[in-house]
Amino acid sequence: MTSSTSTRTVLITGTSSGIGLHTALAAASAGWTVVATMRDTTRAGALRAAADAAGVSVDIRALDVTDAAQIESVIAGIVADHGSLDAVVNNAGAGRVGTVELLSMEAIRDTMEVNFFGVVAVTKAAMPQLRASGGRVLTISSVGGIIGQPFNDAYCAAKFAVEGFLEALQPVAATVGVGVCVIEPGAVGSEFVANAGVDREVMLAAAGVYGPALSSYLARTAGAFANAQAVEEVGALVAGALELDPLPFRLQTSDGARAFVGIKLSDLDGSAVTGFTGTWVSK
């Protein structure tokens, strides 16, 4: 990266909680000027309190990643106020539990809008500034961007799209001096599941013929999140990736995540993946 350490600025989306919040803290602690964005700044209290406790400052701004005009305005404001934009961390996203017959088309489109088109829009708007600074784009994907997971039809579709978009962009962006990386966590101990609106009893009551499979899936998922990776650890890893040289295209956050995506990346006919995930919904 070509900008000097004292002037490096990173834009991080979705920082009101979870990975985004802890990435903002870790990056600020490492000396970055952090512009921490969130759709609703009335939810900034947790970040402000954590930043005060850590003795760092963050520049908190409102940003809805589905609002193209607001994206352009925020990026212009960053450059005006801080002089450059040296990195972007695309973190904003939302979960969506359900299978296609149980999800409305509106819900599926909303999931794609936030998780995929939001990443595209922020990346597109930031590229001219990142070309000027020799910067990089880090995007929080998921192991669900490699392996499609039962009852995550829309969410995995969005993350698969993110991975394909950025895998195609990476070699092209490299020709103009911009690094591209997708970061793939597994289960993380954050508010992500709560924000996905999962109410077990309500979902099971509405599941109809999918009830037995959904019950098995929810039981398996509860076990996975009971042993989730600490969100602070993931935030530190993401902030560390701002400095990695060379920057890998694909970066998992834990041994468990590496083992999980390894199933797919070495599975030429798909049988290993579908055989594995099929056990999640069978008794």
> Would you name the residues annotated as active-site residues?
155
Tokens of 113: 């809008």
Task: Output the CA–CA distances (angstroms, integers) from residue 282 to 55, 210, 214, 276, in the order listed.
Answer: 50, 11, 10, 11
**Phi/psi of residue 176, each to 5°?**
-115, 15
- The span from the CA of 155 to the CA of 114, in Å, is 10
